[in-house]
Chains A and B, each alone.
Chain A
């Protein structure tokens, strides 16, 4: 059964079905969207149950010819690296649709775009043909552009265009690199191929690999975003509507880190090993810089946005270590960041719905009028801080463990990021929630409705579960991570040994 195709395209089907519901029936639209969004989630849960955790290679593969002339196929597959990201995506969408009860402007278009976006994201996660990946990769950009541009805040147009240009700038060069790979495959093997598994076998001259890696890494580093390519993120996040911010933080940013792990590193292992110190440095700068900016951020949403820069720095640091703990921690932290930052944006969004401002200075002492909100916000915030017992701790711990093995200095500097993270988040929470109610407007705020509690509840359950019992996740990730690392190591080793005996190295260099 083409389970992956079903997961990818049921959201698109849902979008088409929503088109059929008249726009006047707002409530029906919202309910239908919520209901439809549960279908891909149910399918993803099924995938999770049926997934063979002992295998590291691609499972549930599908394949059909698309553009045979250039060896382009419709190829899908899932492994331990993408599995949980697929589940995360489908899991978060119903929550985002629950949040859509707060959306009143152009509701129908909003819901349709969210579904199109979901198809794009899921497709990018399970595509195993580079060309197909690129198509889905771009497909998710356009809805996000409209989400920010139409439903966003004051500077939405600026933010939307910035998002598009930044992302496109990276991805177009990636496309050129992809085509180059396919042509290289043709020259080496005799036929074009964009298939990930075929391109893994390519042996290109190191110089060429460096350029190609740079093209891929640029596209992904913009998406992550890594310092110094992060400047689009605070604008996009701040201006996006709450649902858009949640998706942007929780899933879109993961596409960058996922791209590194799936494409940039395994396809060019020799260069990846070379580049990892640079990435570690940038990651550490990101961690500390993001945290420092958070300290002085007067705007709640911008604060959460910059905290993403810091947290994604951890994800990249773990990946840069290129050992089992580091990469597993990095993957685990992707999920954590998705859940906790998604939660933070929901929390900020809920406040914004009530007060139409995001300035920390406007709040204070909110615990008194909003006790339920306060409790949930607290858990979300602590998960983001990385409190032991909650999910964030497991990821950060593994990452630092892995990074210490490879780059001790980076791990040490990164640890200060953990401390800074606790400082800015706790300080923010204190200023918003504790103390006396300084602003009279905040006295009569209404606490969370049942619907809003339902948005946070699944997140909180997962925070605790993933914090206390990470094993079911890590076990399923491990074989795939191992396989990736083995590939990288064997390639990198053979490259360095080839260069050690001199002659082969010269021959290799001379091929160009």
Chain B
């Protein structure tokens, strides 16, 4: 019987993760000593940590390697997502500092949970082992369940947390069973070796692997809110505190896609013939269900929830296409999507006041003209989400659809384009309310909440920059997926 051996630890690949973990623990401890009522200091601490993580991640760009027995990897793909998650979480923290004040969510755990969730995301993106990916997913999700329910005095928030938790746990079950089947087929949990079996294994192995893949698809499909596994999303998005919704819509979805692409496009790529058809169908279903349901929404958070489902559909197109161009387009789209979604939810937060969330679209009447900056910001985010040039959302769709056409998915592209057209109606509907309707609620000026204002400016700048000059950013995405096998 072999003695239990500990694998060699290379510290370099772990560096960004360790910085985030260290920060998290620091914030956790600092929370014990922090005196309310506001916990901005903890937020700042978290922000600095996330910034540090980005700063340690950037110099690693040209490095590569694995650690902990090949379970964690240092590659550009992982770094790309690490940086994206840090930016997303950072903007969420920034957004939250003003939000917590207006909602009276007075607890420092908020920031700790966001950081914990970020750790989970980074794990998901940098791991080559199914078990570690699952671990990351759970770290991320458990923190997110708690975040969804953190507004304890609100019934809606409690409901959201419970619903999210129960359905999330169910999905985790699928994922685990999928992992078990994959393990049964290959005797491995490491992705590269699973990839080998997928490519060269016997027919029986491949069959079992395909069944496992189907279950994994369900698990990931739940996390990215793909139809028909999306039914939790609108309720949870609506019930959760808005800043948390922004975090879920942007960060958690991106993390799920990071693992999704790594597992399916990279490792299970040889079996693409088996899952691509199903995914094609999922993509079409997801974008159609999202867009059509969004048409009738009167609550802005529900509208954005369905919009985020629709966008998961577009992103799935990237997974279906796969390959370098498909994956690169998906990564680019995720960056764009993160920025515009955070921005849109930022405007939702900005329109709310203490005790008056103003989430009903009727409250938005005339706001665009009364508050020009918020109006302009929302116009840019909505048009970008709708895919109107020259904004980032258009470029993202352009790259995605070009990749799809290139790979011969003409009908998928046409369906996606028709879906974009449908989406124009409800995005523009928001603008109709903001600019062309009378009445509505009074809002505070954006400048009265400096952190929120800064978040919006950052998201706005990003949406314009990635739209007008997408080339360098797309190159980054393209070079990030070079490290993937296929």
Interface string of A230-245 (1 = CB under 8 A from B): 0000000000000000
Is B414 part of the contact surface with A, judged by Cβ < 8 Å? yes
Which A residues touch B436, using CB under 8 A? 149-150, 156-157, 160
As a 0/1 sequence over residues 165 to 177 of chain A, the CB contacts with chain B under 8 angstroms (1 = contact) are 1001100110110
Closest B residue, CB atoms, query A186: B406
Whether, in the assembled complex, A138 has its beta carbon less than 8 Å from a beta carbon of chain B, the answer is yes
Within 8 A of A (CB), among B418-450: 418, 420-421, 424-425, 428-429, 431-432, 435-437
Task: Pick from A61-69, A84-92, A425-433, A452-460 the stretch touching chain B.
Answer: A61-69
Cross-chain contact B424 with A165 (CB below 8 angstroms)? yes
List of A residues within 8 angstroms of B383 by Cβ: 142
Chain A residues, Cβ within 8 Å of B394: 135, 138
Are A150 and B435 touching (Cβ within 8 A)? Answer: yes
Query: Does B485 interact with chain A (Cβ within 8 Å)?
Result: no
Query: Which A residues lie within 8 Å of B308 (CB)?
Result: none
The interface residues of chain A lying within 8 Å CB-to-CB of B270 are none
Using known A-B contacts A150-B435, A165-B425, A173-B417, determine if residue A179 contacts B389 with beta carbons closer than 8 Å.
no
Nearest CB of chain B from residue A361's CB, rounded to whole Å:
29
Instruction: Provide 19 A-B residue pairs closer than 8 Å at the C-beta atoms, listed in order of the A residue.
Output: A68-B471, A69-B471, A70-B402, A134-B389, A135-B389, A138-B389, A138-B394, A142-B388, A149-B431, A149-B436, A156-B436, A157-B436, A161-B428, A165-B424, A165-B425, A172-B417, A176-B401, A176-B417, A183-B402
CB neighbours (8 Å) of A68 from chain B are 471
A-chain residues with CB within 8 Å of residue B417 when the two chains form the complex: 172-173, 175-176
Contact of B421 among A69, A172, A180 (CB under 8 A): A172
Identify which of residues 91-149 in chain A touch chain B, using a CB-to-CB cut-off of 8 Å. 106, 109, 131, 134-135, 138-139, 141-142, 145-146, 149
Question: Is A164 on the interface with B (CB-CB < 8 A)?
Answer: yes
A-side interface residues, number (CB < 8 Å): 36
B421 near A168: Cβ-Cβ < 8 Å:
yes
For chain A residues 268-293, which have a beta carbon within 8 Å of chain B? Answer: none
Alpha-carbon distance A165/B428, docked complex (angstroms): 10
A contact residues vs B (CB 8 Å cutoff) = 65-70, 106, 109, 131, 134-135, 138-139, 141-142, 145-146, 149-150, 156-157, 160-161, 164-165, 168-169, 172-173, 175-176, 179-180, 182-183, 186
Cα–Cα, bound, A281→B478 (Å): 49
Q: Report yes or no: B432 in contact with A161, Cβ–Cβ below 8 A.
A: yes
Residues on A with beta carbons closer than 8 Å to the beta carbon of B432:
149, 157, 160-161
Q: Tell me whether A161 and B435 are in contact in the complex, defined as CB-CB below 8 angstroms, given that A135-B389, A179-B402 are known contacts.
A: no
- B413 within 8 A of partner (CB): yes
Q: How far apart are B50's CB and chain A's nearest CB, in angstroms?
A: 31
Contacts A134-B389, A138-B388, A176-B414 given: A161-B405 contact, CB under 8 Å? Answer: no
Do residues B390 and A139 form an inter-chain contact, with CB atoms below 8 A? yes
Whether A176 lies near B435 (C-beta < 8 A) is no
B200 to chain A, nearest CB (A): 32
Q: Which residues of chain A are near B420, meaning CB under 8 Å? A: 172
Among A67, A180, A182: residue with most chain B CB under 10 A: A67
Contacts of A106 in B (CB 8 A): 369
Q: A139-B390, A146-B435, A179-B405 in contact; A161/B425 too (CB < 8 A)?
A: yes
On chain B, the residues within 8 Å of A164 by CB distance are 424, 428
CA distance A179 to B395 in the complex (A): 13
Main secondary structure of the interface of B (DSSP, over half): helix
State which residues 361-394 of B face A: CB under 8 Å. 369, 383, 388-390, 394
In-complex Cβ contact of B401 among A66, A160, A179 (8 A): A179
Q: Which residues of A contact B418 (CB under 8 A)?
A: 172
> B470 interface residue, CB < 8 Å from A?
yes
Provide the bound-state CA to CA distance between A172 and B417, in Å: 6
Q: Is the CB of A69 within 8 A of B474?
A: yes
State in angstroms the CA–CA spacing of A175 and B478 once bound together.
23
Cα distance A173–B417 in the bound complex, in angstroms: 7
Other contacts beyond A68-B471, A138-B394, A164-B424: 7, CB < 8 A: A134-B389, A150-B369, A150-B435, A173-B414, A175-B401, A176-B401, A183-B405
Alpha-carbon distance A182/B401, docked complex (angstroms): 12
In the complex, A306 Cα to B119 Cα: how many Å? Answer: 62
Q: How far is the CA of A131 from the CA of B471 in the complex (A)?
A: 14
Q: Shortest Cβ distance from B425 into chain A, in angstroms?
A: 6
- Which chain A positions have C-beta within 8 A of B478? 69
Task: Determine the chain A residues whose CB is within 8 A of the CB of B435 once the complex forms.
Answer: 146, 149-150
B424: which A residues are within 8 A, CB to CB?
164-165, 168
B405 contacts A180, CB within 8 Å? yes
Q: Is the CB of B413 within 8 A of A67?
A: no
Assuming A165-B425, A168-B424, A183-B405, is B389 touching A176 (CB within 8 A)?
A: no
Nearest-neighbor residue (CB-CB) of B424 within chain A = A168
Chain B residue, CB-CB nearest to A65: B471
Interchain nearest-CB distance for A175 vs B (Å) = 7
CA–CA, A386 to B279, complex, Å?
60
**Chain B, Cβ-Cβ closest to A134:** B389
Alpha-carbon separation in the docked complex, A142 to B424 (Å): 12
Chain A residues closer than 8 Å to B428, beta-carbon distance: 145, 161, 164
Which one of A70, A145, A168 has the highest number of Cβ atoms from chain B below 10 Å of its Cβ? Answer: A168
Encode B163-181 as 1/0 by CB contact (under 8 A) with A: 0000000000000000000
Question: How far is A113 from B35 in the complex, measured between Cα atoms in Å?
Answer: 50
The distance in angstroms between the C-alpha atoms of A68 and B376, with both chains bound, is: 30
**Docked pose: A16 CA to B172 CA in angstroms:** 52
Closest to B390 in A: A135
Taking the nearest CB of chain B, how far is it from the CB of A22, in angstroms?
Answer: 13
Contact with A along B465-486 (1 / 0, CB 8 A): 0000011001100100000000
Smallest CB separation, B460 vs chain A (Å): 15
Complex formed: what's the CA distance from A67 to B390 in Å?
Answer: 13
Contacts of A183 in B (CB 8 A): 402, 405-406
Closest chain-A Cβ to B281's Cβ sits at a distance in Å of 20
Across-interface contacts of A156 in B (CB, < 8 A)? 436
In the bound complex, residues from chain B placing their C-beta under 8 Å from that of A70 are 402
Q: Which residue of A lies closest to B417 (CB)?
A: A172
User: Within the assembled complex, what's the spacing in Å between the Cα atoms of A480 and B398?
Assistant: 32
Interchain nearest-CB distance for A394 vs B (Å): 37
Closest 5 A/B residue pairs (Cβ): A135-B389, A149-B436, A172-B417, A138-B389, A135-B390
Min Cβ gap A182→B in Å is 8
A279 to chain B, nearest CB (A): 24
Contacting pair A176 B390 (CB below 8 A): no
- Give the complex CA separation of A160 and B432 in angstroms: 9
- How far is A68 from B471 in the complex, measured between Cα atoms in Å? 8
Question: What residues of chain B lie closer than 8 Å to A141, measured between beta carbons?
Answer: 388
A149 to B436 alpha-carbon distance, docked (Å): 6
Q: A142-B383, A165-B421, A176-B417 known; A67 and B471 CB under 8 Å?
A: yes
Closest to A68 in B: B471
Taken together as a complex, chains A and B put the C-alpha atoms of A106 and B435 apart, in Å, by 11
Contacts of A149 in B (CB 8 A): 431-432, 435-436
* Contact residues in B for A157 (Cβ distance below 8 Å): 432, 436-437
CB–CB A139/B389 < 8 A: yes
CA distance A402 to B68 in the complex (A): 79
Chain A residues near B421 (CB, 8 Å)? Answer: 165, 168-169, 172
